[in-house]
C-alpha cells in the first residue's frame, strides 16, 4: 500500500519524504488556498521538483468540461510526475467521464476525484482513470460506510483486472486510515497532521524510557567494575 500526503505544504513533504514513507502527493484547490498558494503553477513547480518521479495530483479549477481538458493538458506539460485531478461530475451532476477518457487517451494520468459511491468508481476506472479517489470522510458524512465502499470497489477492480488504483482521501481521523488500509485501499492520502499521531504511543514512549534507563544503569555498572580492577 502506498501513502500520499494530502497537502501543498512543501516543508511537510520534505520532512516526511526524509522518513521514507511518502509515495506521492495530492492537492485540491481548497488545500492550495489554505496553504496560501494562489498560483497553482508556482506551487506545483516546487512540489514537483521535491517529489522527483513520485506523482503529484493537481486539480482542474473549472466547471466547464472543455476548459478541464485544456487545463489538464497544460498541467501535464509542467512536469512528468503531474497527475490531473478531474471530478467525476460537474456542479450540475453532468458526467466528466469524457474528460477523463480524452485526457487518458492523450497519455495524461488522471485522478478521478470527488467519488462517493461504488458506481462512480467503476465508471471512472472504465473511462481510463489511473486513480479513483474515494472520499472516506464525505461518504461517512452522508451516512455511508467508507470501509464497505472501499472493499467493494477493490473487489471489482481485482475481479476485472482493472489497472485503476484506489486512493482513499478525505481522512478525518487516524481510525479512518486503519479502516481504509484494511478495506483494501491501494493508496491513502493523509493530511500530514495525522502522521505524528500514527507514530506516537504513550506506552512506546514508556518502553523506550525503560530501555534507556536500564542501558544507562548497565553503562554505570561497567564503569564501576572497570574502576575496581
Using Cβ positions, the residue closest to ligand E4P within the complex turns out to be 169
Q: Is 161 helix (H, G, I), strand (E, B) or coil?
A: coil
CA neighbor of 31 nearest in space, from 58, 50, 8: 8
Cβ contact 185:150 at 8 Å: yes
Pick from 36, 89, 26: which is nearest to 59 by CA?
26
Task: Report, in Å, the least distance between residue 135 CB and ligand E4P.
Answer: 5
Question: 49 to 108, contacts with ligand E4P by CB under 6 A?
Answer: none
Q: How far, in Å, are 49, 102, 126, 156 from residue 46 at the CA level? A: 5, 28, 33, 37
DSSP letter at 63?
S
Q: Which region among 44-52, 131-139, 146-154, 200-208 touches ligand E4P (by CB under 6 A)?
A: 131-139
Do residues 55 and 27 touch, judged by C-beta distance below 8 A? no
- Tracing cell 497532521 back to the chain, one arrives at 193
Any contact of residue 24 with ligand E4P (CB under 6 A)? no
Point out which span in 25-33, 39-47, 97-105, 216-224 binds ligand E4P (CB under 6 A). 25-33
Minimum separation from the CB atom of position 40 to ligand E4P (A): 14
Closer CB to ligand E4P, residue 165 or residue 189?
Answer: 189
> Is 197 a known active-site residue?
no
Tell which one of 137, 144, 162, 192 touches ligand E4P (CB under 6 A): 137
Q: Which of 7, 120, 130, 133 binds ligand E4P (CB under 6 A)?
A: 133
**81, 55 Cβ separation under 8 angstroms:** yes
What is the rounded CA–CA span in Å between residue 74 and residue 72?
Answer: 5
Residue 6 binds ligand E4P (CB under 6 A):
yes
Minimum distance of ligand E4P from residue 217's CB (angstroms):
48
165 binds ligand E4P per the rule CB under 6 A: no
Helices of type H across the chain: 10-17, 29-34, 40-51, 65-78, 97-105, 118-127, 136-141, 146-159, 174-183, 195-199, 202-228
Nearer to ligand E4P, 65 or 85 (CB): 85
Asked if residue 130 binds ligand E4P (CB under 6 A), the reply is: no
Which of 7, 26, 120, 179: binder of ligand E4P (CB under 6 A)? 26
Give me the active site residues, please: 85
By the criterion CB under 6 A, which residues form the site for ligand E4P?
6, 26, 28, 30, 113, 133, 135, 137-138, 169-170, 189
Amino acid at each position: 500500500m502506498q501513502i500520499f500526503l494530502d497537502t501543498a505544504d512543501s516543508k511537510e513533504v520534505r520532512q516526511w519524504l526524509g522518513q521514507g514513507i511518502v509515495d506521492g502527493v495530492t492537492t485540491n484547490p481548497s488545500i492550495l488556498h489554505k496553504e496560501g498558494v494562489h498560483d497553482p503553477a508556482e506551487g506545483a513547480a516546487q512540489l514537483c521538483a521535491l517529489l522527483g518521479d513520485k506523482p503529484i495530483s493537481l486539480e482542474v479549477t473549472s466547471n466547464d468540461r472543455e476548459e478541464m481538458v485544456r487545463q489538464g493538458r497544460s498541467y501535464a506539460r509542467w512536469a512528468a510526475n503531474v497527475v490531473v485531478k478531474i471530478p467525476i461530475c460537474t456542479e450540475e451532476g453532468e458526467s466528466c467521464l469524457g474528460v477523463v477518457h480524452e485526457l487518458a487517451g492523450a497519455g495524461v494520468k488522471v485522478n478521478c476525484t470527488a467519488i462517493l459511491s461504488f458506481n462512480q468508481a467503476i465508471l471512472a476506472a472504465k473511462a481510463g482513470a489511473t486513480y479513483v479517489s474515494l472520499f472516506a470522510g464525505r461518504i461517512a458524512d452522508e451516512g455511508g460506510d467508507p470501509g464497505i465502499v472501499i472493499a467493494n470497489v477493490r473487489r471489482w477492480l481485482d475481479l476485472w483486472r482493472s489497472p485503476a488504483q484506489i486512493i482513499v482521501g478525505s481522512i478525518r481521523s487516524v481510525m479512518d486510515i486503519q479502516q481504509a488500509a484494511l478495506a483494501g485501499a491501494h493508496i491513502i492520502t493523509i493530511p500530514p497532521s495525522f502522521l505524528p499521531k500514527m507514530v506516537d504511543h504513550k506506552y512506546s514512549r514508556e518502553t523506550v524510557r525503560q530501555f534507556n534507563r536500564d542501558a544507562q544503569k548497565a553503562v554505570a555498572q561497567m564503569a564501576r567494575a572497570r574502576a575496581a580492577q
